Structure 1
């Protein structure tokens, strides 16, 4: 993690939206007109699509079938961008956003859409992208994986910034603390006092966290606070740009002790745990169907939605169907979220990850869960790894869970293994579709695919696909 302070800015005008900053690609200053348009469809970014004066208009906060009044955000060569400011004729799928910060906060862009409509829209995006880039559709569309749409997010980073209030007669310019997430289309911060997608135990403490930072003598040198929730505890990682005086440290200790939380301080790239003083720097979650407990550092990558993660792991294992005599490869394995459940079913599993710290965590989790038929390897997965010692035995089945950029080099390299099944977990339907086209050329067919509501109320689309050798 970078030691530089993030480029946060904060709005000083309450809930009034900050003016849109024109992109370098904008062809002109946004028009001040507020036309009324009819929304025809949703884009792959889950924005409303309209046509106005022969030009495509992408509209935030708008749903198909609606008539809305819009405010322009940007003009571009081939399309314009706007936001709906008044809903004249609402769609049946529209709902009142449950969060009071919806208008400004950039975290949950779909709270105006009912949850069932959100997941239906995401499924359509997945299928459209597969058809557009791979010219194919799955033989079977899997039912969506869903769970609660509130209180699901176990990790987040809140930025802090002191800003000056507008000058009032007879008063000085007193800086005001802003604590929250980035606003939509801006580097400004939304000053939040609750967050419906975070665990309720954390959300209700946000006003107290705000007060705590404001009371610190060196509070203005705290750049952000990360929260990570395990199933048994919550950890705070406080990033501070100057050493905290003893009085500030005591304020933090009093706060976390009262809540029963863990506290980490981070002055450079490496945080260190200061409370509780005993015990490891670990949180945990469980995969009950496989009898596993997974341990992680608060800054490790883990899936942010434990409920969907459990369903996702079960589905991935069921689709891959590892047998007791088979050797399985898990690529982009992280700390073993899929690797260890696979090891419960297969003869041998090899987990490969580019981050050395995560492979160490994987070995740690294998040892904690008393699994000795699994190995973790660190490797650059953009390179051909087929001649590596751990790959020479070949693999019967393969699972991959790449980042948003996808796994184009990987699917080219793994095809020669001749695995009968490949399960691909994706957080970007566009790169999944691109890689699907590559697998189809290499003798696989897309048997099944479906979406998973890992990030309710956001535009992120998580999906899973099964490829079988023809």
Structure 2
């Protein structure tokens, strides 16, 4: 993939830009193998662990969510990042974003200018509009979020909302997020929905072995960055789960319920756990629409939920999909000492994945698959299947 922003040196976020894509994927596979070598040895050596072919992605146009800093001035807003002097750098034509997002960003820049929303000046700590966050669904619909410093700008947004919807009719959900503090975070706690529709339906493509439940994305909910690869991640996990065929299952760190919704089957008791109440609302809506009576979701801390479980409440299989820090010592120790027979561990950080596997010596690595969720960067997703020895 070729990128003018990278070539001009104005953005270096995609650290692998210009490297042959096949080499990028191979390097990620080799790095994952190197990091998991102790787990492979503990499982009985290379012959005991099945490494499935890596899942690749389109090299460009894959990123379904853009987190864009708004800089510059009202007359000349930038939508992109900040440089080393905290000045706005415009990236509205970023090539890793989906086509729908690339089409939307110039329209949103025009909207900032027309509505008079003052971009936030980080060094001076003045201004109102900090970020524009845009997510595109597989159907081409958009969730657009304006991160503002104060609620005083809400009347202005509402006043110009009709013009925005006319210029960008696929923006089916528009919100304002309030972030009054000057700190290095992307969003605040309060969200104001400005449209009648509150969720963005995420209808992933079905695979030969996997149904395609509609997942609902609310503004403060996590969804996988790469829609194409996410569908294959859920399909792979579901295939492994069906092979084991547990009567009961937990999906910890479940987000909007991707693994749970894809793995739910009649008679299989499935519970999804996630700290975000907005994500749990989304997951519950998806389960109701799909008529999945044996699937429930709860807003809770994954580790605390596990520690409270006793006896028959412990499932046969657990899916974990933690943030980059991994599941940590307490949850790993609980899994090691529990009666859980199988674990599907999906990780965006093979370093912490290897560390967590070392804490669970009774859970033997059986299968691994690398998924290139983040082309042009060094990041990756790895999904593993563990059996109790």
TM-score range, shorter chain: 0.7 to 0.9
Residue 99 of structure 1 is matched in structure 2 by 3
Q: Distance in 1 between the 2:249 and 2:157 partners? A: 50
**Equivalent position of 1:159 in the other structure:** 69
Report deviation, 1:445. 1.6
Q: Tell me, what secondary structure is at the counterpart of 1:321?
A: helix
Residue in structure 1 matched with residue 186 of structure 2 by the alignment = none
Residue aligning to 1:67: none
Q: Say yes or no: does 1:202 pair with 2:101.
A: yes
Of 114, 135, 138 in structure 2, the residue corresponding to residue 228 of structure 1 is 135
Rounded to whole Å, the distance in 2 between the matches of 1:127 and 1:378 is: 35
Q: What secondary structure, in the 3-state scheme, does the structure 2 residue paired with 1:320 have?
A: helix
> Which of residues 147, 150, 162 is equivalent to 1:239?
147
- CA offsets per residue over residues 47-92 of structure 1, 9 Å max, x none? xxxxxxxxxxxxxxxxxxxxxxxxxxxxxxxxxxxxxxxxxxxxxx
* TM superposition shift of 1:439: 1.7
Task: Determine the C-alpha separation between the residues in 1 that align with 2:58 and 2:355.
Answer: 31
Change (3 A) 1:216 1:106: farther
Inter-partner Cα distance in structure 2 for 1:215 and 1:132:
58
**d(CA) in 1 for partners of 2:299 and 2:273?**
6
Change (3 A) 1:436 1:248: closer
- Are the aligned partners of 1:133 and 1:437 in contact in 2 as well (CA < 8 Å)? yes
Distance 1:205 1:291, change over 3 A: closer
Query: In the alignment, which residue of structure 2 is the partner of 1:421?
Result: 342
Q: Distance in 2 between matches of 1:413 and 1:223?
A: 41
Distance 1:246 1:335 in 2: 31
- 1:254 corresponds to which residue? 163
2:87 and 2:315 map into 1 onto residues whose CA distance is: 49
Question: C-alpha separation between the residues in 1 aligned to 2:223 and 2:302?
Answer: 19
CA distance in 2, matches of 1:348, 1:429: 29
Q: Number of aligned pairs?
A: 358
- Would the alpha carbon gap of residues 264 and 324 (structure 1) be closer, same or farther in structure 2, given more than 3 Å must change? same
Pair 1:212 & 2:114 matched: no
Q: Output the TM-score relative to the length of structure 1.
A: 0.69
Give 1:344 deviation, angstroms. 2.3
**CA separation in 1, counterparts of 2:77 and 2:14?**
23
- Identify which of 283, 308, 313 aligns with 2:201: 283
**Unmatched 5+ stretches in structure 2:** 120-127, 180-188
CA-CA distance at 1:227 after TM superposition: 0.4
Hey, what does 2:372 align to over in structure 1?
A: 453
Q: Aligned pair 1:150/2:60, yes or no?
A: yes
Looking at structure 2, the residues matched to 197 and 458 of structure 1 have their Cα atoms a distance apart, in angstroms, of 11
Q: Displacement of 1:252 after TM fit? A: 4.7
CA contact (8 A) 1:331 1:400 kept: yes
User: Is 1:265–2:176 an aligned residue pair?
Assistant: yes
Alpha carbons 1:218, 1:245 under 8 Å: kept: no
Change (3 A) 1:235 1:362: closer
- Computing the radius of gyration from Cα coordinates, the structure with the larger value is 1
Correspondence for 2:30:
124
1:437 aligns with 2:361: no
Q: Deviations over 1:271-299 (max 9, x none)?
A: 32324xx3344433335231411111133
Using the TM superposition, name which of 104-113 and 120-129 deviates more: 104-113
Are the counterparts in 2 of residues 323 and 345 from structure 1 also a CA contact under 8 Å? no
Whether contact under 8 Å (1:106, 1:182) holds in the other structure is no
Distance 1:319 1:248, change over 3 A: closer
Question: After the TM superposition, which residues 62-101 of structure 1 pair with which residues of structure 2 at under 5 Å, given as runs?
Answer: 97-101=1-5
Determine the C-alpha separation between the residues in 2 that align with 1:241 and 1:366: 35
Tell me, yes or no, if structure 1 residue 320 matches structure 2 residue 247.
Answer: no
Q: CA deviation at 1:376?
A: 1.7
- Secondary structure at 1:124's aligned position in 2? helix
1:397 deviates by 1.6
TM-score scaled by length of structure 2: 0.83
Distance in 2, Cα, partners of 1:179 & 1:414 = 44
Cα distance in 2, alignment partners of residues 190 and 267 from structure 1: 23
Greater relative contact order (Cα 8 A, min sep 6): structure 1 or 2?
2
Name the counterpart of 1:87.
none
- Distance in structure 2 (CA, Å) of the matches to 1:294 and 1:366: 9
Deviation at 1:311, TM superposition (A): 0.5
Moved more, 372-381 or 283-292: 283-292
Superposition CA RMSD, Å: 2.7
Q: CA deviation at 1:406?
A: 0.4
